[in-house]
Amino acid sequence: LMIAGGVVAVAALLGSCTTMSKDQCLAGAWGEKGYADGTSGYPMTRLDDHAKACAKYQVAPNPAAYGSAREDGLRTYCTLERGWAEGRAGNTYYGVCRPEEEQAFVPAYQDGLRLHEVEDAFEAAQGALSSAEARIENREDKLEAKQNELRGEGLTDEQRDRIRDRIQDVRGEIRDARRNARDARDALDQAEWDVRRVRRELSGRYPV
């Protein structure tokens, strides 16, 4: 599965932050924590992160209680509906479902992820266009200010030359920004088409 490639990298990130507070560790509700992790689709290695978080409080986990409850939680997680929701949210799948469950979960997850990615591309293109348009406006204001400055009285030839050079620079920046805006509009059009296409393809199977 393509989605399995990101599991190792993201799993490493999971251990980089404290997963349980002091109160949670002292409460020792390992079944409750296991069920919550199962419904969230976390791998069993999540228990190692909890163990590290609780070690500073001299609290050891209960693997049996955690693991059993996590399996119960996974039954809620490993469904077609949840696969779709996880993909739509752009969440990582850690390969936690049984093969028979993956037959429904994984295709739905991949479909949801595909729609998530084209919608992300659409938003990125919108941002790029807005940025380019703002840059055009900023540079046009700067150009007008420099042109007004050039018409001022009492300037030396050297000062006028310097202003003219800056005017040429700003005009070049405007051309670049307009080119960027054209590219962003093309990317936005393509991204919008992609979103419509993917939604159309998936509309008969999922609530899009």
pLDDT at residue 208, rounded to an integer: 75
CA-to-CA distance for 90 and 110, rounded, in angstroms? Answer: 10
Tokens of 201: 């393809």
pLDDT means over runs of 10, the chain (208 residues): 43 59 93 97 96 94 97 97 97 97 97 97 95 96 95 92 96 96 96 96 87
CA-to-CA distance for 88 and 102, rounded, in angstroms? Answer: 17
Q: pTM value?
A: 0.75
pLDDT at residue 5, rounded to an integer: 41
Tokens of 33: 């924590």
What does the DSSP 8-state code read for residue 64?
H
Q: Tokens 């805006």, residue?
A: 181
CA-to-CA distance for 182 and 189, rounded, in angstroms? Answer: 11
- In degrees rounded to 5, what are phi and psi of residue 31? -65, -45
